[in-house]
Amino acid sequence: MRQISLIYAPTNQYEVIVEVEPQFQLNPEALSKLYMKSANGGVVPLSAVAKLTQSTGFLVINHLGEFPSATISFNLAPGSSLGAVVSQINKFAKSSVPSGVSMTFQGQAQAFQQSFQNLGWLLLLATLIIYTILGMLYESFLHPITILSGLPAAGLGALLTLMLFQHVLDIYGILGLIMLIGIVKKNAIMMIDYAIERRRENEQVSAHDAIYEACLTRFRPIMMTTMAALMGSIPIALGLGAGGESRQPLGLAVVGGLLVSQMLTLYITPVVYIYVDGLQERLKRGHQLPKSKPAAEKAPV
């Protein structure tokens, strides 16, 4: 049965529903009593244009959107992550599912995929926000690049550590990369901020001497904060605690990124600062317009 119209009354409305009488619902032979209108306006029985056969079929056909679908559910094994399972299912589907059949995730797996797709933009947005804030603090477009120069080394260390321990870059690994952005740039800020203030106090100090003095002065606090972050991340990297195995990529990303960035930042950041400072000085000299010479006075005739 189905609704075909509505009858509107002054105080109510009524649905018009077409339904076959119960005595015609028991036997399929009742379909032969249905008639259809032909092209010339007459009526013909349904049996004249269709063949009726009896067979078995599905009671319910599930649909996803406009397409028939079948749902296969799965649970995670102890110690496994959703990202690794989704990757394995996609790999298996590419080699087993026919070309005319499409596969999509639903539920938590779909939410995971959607959130994971946006995490790359989140990393980029976080970097741009940090660059903008540093640019306003130091009133420069170039020195924020010096501070962020240690991020590639930290990201490389995190990815190499995950590969070494055979972990995929899941959502916990992405969170570890976001944490590295804040921890690594802190080390560079401590050096660059000291060097910039040192040159503002005494313009005779060169960029080389200023950053060298900054490295010596800020070496101890840099090591203290880095070791504190490492000691806090090592238990997570070892997978200790309830559910620690699922959070292990976060600790591995932080530990590996800090170790590599700590060894390289103390060498890369000073070099980048010296070159960027020299570039900034050349840009300042290029924007200074030469003073116009006064016109020569004419001698009296």
For residue range 32-72, what is the model confidence (pLDDT) as tens digits?
A: 788 888 888 888 888 888 887 888 888 888 888 788 888 88
pLDDT tens string, the chain, 301 residues long: the values are 678 889 998 889 999 988 888 887 777 777 778 888 888 888 888 888 888 788 888 888 888 878 888 888 888 777 676 777 887 888 888 888 888 888 888 877 777 777 677 777 877 888 888 889 888 888 888 888 888 888 888 888 888 898 888 887 777 888 888 888 888 888 888 888 888 888 888 878 888 888 889 888 988 988 898 888 888 888 888 877 766 777 888 888 889 988 888 887 788 888 888 888 888 888 777 766 555 555 555 445 4
Q: Where are the domains of the chain?
A: 114-285
Q: Report the 10 Å Cβ neighbour count for 141.
A: 13
> Can you read off the two tokens belonging to residue 66?
């406009």
Closest C-alpha among 117, 52, 53 to residue 83: 117
Q: Please give the CATH superfamily to which domain 114-285 belongs.
A: Multidrug efflux transporter AcrB transmembrane domain (1.20.1640.10)
List all residues 6 or more positions away from 169 whose beta carbon is below 8 Å from its beta carbon.
83, 159, 162, 249
Alpha carbon distance 147, 216 (integer Å): 17
Distance CA 79, CA 143 (A): 44
Q: Which helix (H) or strand (E) holds 124?
A: helix 108-138
AA identity, residue 135 = G
- pLDDT digits 0-9 by tens, 224-248: 988 888 888 888 888 777 667 778 8
Beta bridge partners of 6: 15
The answer to whether 195 touches 184, Cβ cutoff 8 Å, is: no
Residue 156: CA count within 13 A, CB half-sphere:
11
Could you tell me the pTM of the whole model? Answer: 0.59
